[in-house]
């Protein structure tokens, strides 16, 4: 049986931090990133691709806000905004990927699945919203919106005196249509799924699917999807070729191989930054703990050179 890999595209794969965010910029970035996946296809891998949506869904939320203030258009809830971003980005990734495949003479079908991801309604994260989303408001504006919409706000980390809405970020517990994703992928179709962490939903007392005003960590959702569809390998593509220990210190050094035990210890010791590398490490651990063979964190352009990338396995590779 061919190997199945899940590739989680980081935010920089679609949009760089110093760019305006035009569709031309995003398409160029996406094409360059997808070029690096060709070697996996040529090596016989079946692929499932996920992606981030941070800047894009943030822009959707700001358009929501502007539309309400200027034209009186009712704002849409977070789950609808995530769905909007997932469909739009998925379309872009699929179109760019079809062009890359055509360029290399690879005959593959590509499909984008708008994916619901279930969370536990009793997850403690619901009682402690921390994830900042949407535009920056003044304190007066934030207080008004909190009163009118029952939203919660937190002061921004980068702009003193600015306030942003905060929502919970519970752990994903199930990927919708996971059997469909696995079946399509095993048949050779490249599947784009669980974008932006998935559309957040929960199951209520009547066993009905209900929307959740939360955001789901994209790497955790991608890792869960990889485990649930029986993927052999899980890749997180970011902006560095390796994971570093003692980052930005005199004794900083990169690591190519990590086993489960050492990775857990490094995580406990605070080796990985809370807002950047730590969530990726947790996602990699989750994958191998649930039966995956190997997790890899690397830069997209280094994928075809196997000496690059930090490989995390249950035990050190021989």
170 lies in some domain: no
Q: Is 158 a catalytic residue?
A: no
pLDDT score for 160: 62
Q: Is 218 a catalytic residue?
A: yes
E strand segments, the chain:
4-9, 46-51, 110-112, 116-119, 131-137, 152-155, 163-167, 172-175, 190-192, 199-203, 209-211, 233-238, 243-245, 253-255, 257-259, 294-299, 310-313
Q: How confident is the model at residue 13 (pLDDT cuts 50, 70, 90)?
A: confident
Please state, for a pLDDT cut of 70, what percent of the chain lies above it: 98
CA end-to-end span of the chain, whole Å?
23
156 lies in some domain: no
Domains: count for the chain: 1
75 lies in some domain: yes
pLDDT score for 48: 98
288 lies in some domain: yes
CATH of the domain at 296: 3.40.1160.10
152 lies in some domain: no
Cα(135)–Cα(203) distance, rounded to whole angstroms? 30
87 lies in some domain: yes
Q: Is 177 a catalytic residue?
A: no
The residue from 12, 54, 88, 154 that is catalytic is 12
Using one digit for the tens of pLDDT, what is the confidence trace for 53-110?
Answer: 988 898 899 999 999 999 999 999 999 999 999 999 999 999 999 999 999 999 999 9
Cβ(81)–Cβ(60) under 8 Å? yes
| 58 Cβ contact partners less than 8 Å away, ≥ 6 residues apart | 133, 134
The residue from 218, 292, 294, 311 that is catalytic is 218
In which domain, by residue range, is 263 found?
4-119+176-313
- DSSP annotation of 190 reads E
129 lies in some domain: no
Cα(292)–Cα(282) distance, rounded to whole angstroms? 14
* Stated pTM of the model: 0.93
Q: What share of the chain is helix, strand, coil (3-state, %, to 5)?
A: 40, 25, 35
48 lies in some domain: yes
Nearest to 241, CA basis, from 296, 317, 315, 318: 296
Q: Is 246 a catalytic residue?
A: no
pLDDT score for 159: 58
The residue from 36, 53, 198, 280 that is catalytic is 280
Using one digit for the tens of pLDDT, what is the confidence trace for 157-166?
Answer: 665 669 999 9
Cα(26)–Cα(30) distance, rounded to whole angstroms? 6
Q: Is 261 a catalytic residue?
A: no
Alpha-carbon distances of 205 from 62, 170, 210, rounded to whole Å:
33, 19, 10
Using one digit for the tens of pLDDT, what is the confidence trace for 267-314?
Answer: 999 999 887 899 999 999 999 999 999 999 999 999 988 889 999 999
The residue from 131, 171, 293, 302 that is catalytic is 131
Does the pLDDT at position 318 exceed 80?
no
Cβ(47)–Cβ(37) under 8 Å? yes
């Amino acid at each position: 049986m061919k190997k199945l890999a899940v590739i989680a595209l980081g935010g920089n794969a679609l949009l760089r931090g110093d760019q305006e965010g035009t569709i031309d910029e995003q398409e160029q970035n996406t094409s360059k990133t997808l070029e690096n996946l060709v070697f996996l296809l040529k090596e016989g891998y079946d692929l499932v691709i996920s992606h981030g949506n941070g800047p894009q869904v943030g822009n959707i939320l700001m358009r929501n806000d502007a539309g309400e203030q200027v034209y009186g258009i009712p704002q849409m809830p977070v789950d609808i905004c995530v769905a909007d971003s997932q469909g739009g980005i998925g379309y872009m990734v699929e179109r760019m990927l079809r062009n890359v495949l055509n360029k290399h003479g690879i005959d593959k079908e590509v499909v984008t699945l708008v994916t619901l991801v279930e969370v536990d309604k009793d997850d403690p994260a619901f009682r402690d919203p921390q994830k900042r989303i949407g535009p920056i408001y003044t304190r007066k504006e934030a207080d008004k919106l909190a009163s009118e919409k029952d939203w919660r706000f937190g002061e921004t980390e980068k702009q003193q005196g600015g306030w942003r809405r905060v929502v919970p970020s519970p752990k994903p517990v199930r990927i919708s249509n996971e059997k469909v994703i696995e079946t399509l992928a095993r048949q050779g179709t490249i599947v784009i799924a669980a974008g932006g962490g998935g559309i957040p939903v929960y199951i209520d007392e009547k066993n009905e699917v209900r929307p959740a005003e939360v955001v789901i960590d994209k790497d955790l959702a991608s890792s869960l999807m990889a485990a649930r569809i029986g993927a052999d390998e899980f890749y997180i593509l970011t902006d560095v070729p390796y994971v570093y220990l003692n980052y930005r210190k005199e004794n900083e050094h990169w690591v190519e191989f990590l086993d489960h035990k050492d990775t857990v210890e490094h995580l406990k010791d605070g080796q990985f930054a809370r807002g950047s590398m730590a969530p990726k490490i947790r996602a990699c651990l989750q994958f191998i703990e649930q039966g995956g063979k190997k997790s890899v964190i690397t830069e997209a352009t280094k994928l075809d050179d196997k000496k690059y990338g930090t490989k995390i396995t249950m035990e050190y590779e021989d």
